[in-house]
């Protein structure tokens, strides 16, 4: 049995998915399984040559891979809940389909969540097109060994600040690459609030993380080692923001009651 199930929601971007999967083939942590939920009408995750080729590589390495054509589309919260329902491992890594991971990312995340015994550990994604946009005034960061604030400055510059290498910091939330203790996520209701959202929405990952953090804590890792491919988002309609629409405080309070 794998220790980590890597859960990927895919939609009509087979080339970016192939790049993301390629970075998984080089991970130093061996004990993971991959589950893909494909929302595309054409089933790009299995039917495109580029994605199919990398899936073969993963399987040749002995990785278990599941690909599901999951239709009709009912929004990202439903997509994430479906992926969670397919998970068997004690830890689940929700990974966007347009990222590039350095080889030790999964290993570092698993080590961090074990050391802290917290609900999640995340690696914020870096857009390297902003490499030369240095904004010192926005690079404030405070770590777990002191009062914590976090500003959404470019993490590539922020991670140069601390001496001594790897650190854990507190977060408001982390997008794109988040490893959860699966039992903690499920005990907070997972993404069960999907039924209360219209198909077009955003912020479902924010709400789930805040609920887990309220009960179990969570942290971000620095350096990140996760890079964004910087394509246009596939979630174009952001008029319904889950934490705002559903009422954050009430949803956190109810998180222990949902199954």
Mean of the pLDDT values across residues 210-229? 91
What is the CATH number that goes with domain 4-254?
3.90.550.10
Residue 141 pLDDT > 50: no
Q: Measured between alpha carbons, how far is 57 from 166 in angstroms, rounded to an integer?
A: 31
Residue 223: asked if its preceding bond is cis (omega within 30°), the reply is yes
Q: Could you state, in order of their start, the residue ranges of all structural domains in the chain?
A: 4-254
* Prediction pTM value: 0.83
How does residue 130 score in pLDDT terms, banded at 50, 70 and 90? low
Q: Distances in Å between the alpha carbon of 32 and those of 114, 141, 227? A: 16, 31, 20
Query: If you average pLDDT over every residue of the chain, what do you get?
Result: 82
Q: What percent of the chain has pLDDT over 90?
A: 51
DSSP assignments along 118-139, one per residue: -SEEE---B-GGGTT---GGG-
Residues with Cβ within 8 Å of 15's Cβ and at least 6 positions away in sequence, in order, are: 48, 50
């Amino acid at each position: 049995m794998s220790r980590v199930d890597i859960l990927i929601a895919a939609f009509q971007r087979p080339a970016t998915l192939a790049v993301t999967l390629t970075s998984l083939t080089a991970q130093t942590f061996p004990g993971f399984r991959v589950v893909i939920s494909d929302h595309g009408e054409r089933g790009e995750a299995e039917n495109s040559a580029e994605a199919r080729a990398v899936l073969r590589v993963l399987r040749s390495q002995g990785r278990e891979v599941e690909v599901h054509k999951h239709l009709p589309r009912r929004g990202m919260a439903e997509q994430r809940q479906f992926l969670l329902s397919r998970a068997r491992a004690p830890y689940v890594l929700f990974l966007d389909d347009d990222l590039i991971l350095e080889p030790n990312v999964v290993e570092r995340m698993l080590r961090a969540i074990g050391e802290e015994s917290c609900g999640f550990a995340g690696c914020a994604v870096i857009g390297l097109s902003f490499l030369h946009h240095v904004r010192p005034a926005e690079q404030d960061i405070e770590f777990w060994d002191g009062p914590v604030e976090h500003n959404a400055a470019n993490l590539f510059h922020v991670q140069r600040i601390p001496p001594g290498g790897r650190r854990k910091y507190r977060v408001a939330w982390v997008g794109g690459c988040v490893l959860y203790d699966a039992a903690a996520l499920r005990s907070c209701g997972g993404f069960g609030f999907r039924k209360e959202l219209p198909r077009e929405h955003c912020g479902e990952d924010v709400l789930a993380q805040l609920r887990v953090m309220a009960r179990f804590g969570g942290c971000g890792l620095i350096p990140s080692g996760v890079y964004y491919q910087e394509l246009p988002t596939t979630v174009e309609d952001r008029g319904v923001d889950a934490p705002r629409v559903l009422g954050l405080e009430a949803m956190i309070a109810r998180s222990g009651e949902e199954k």
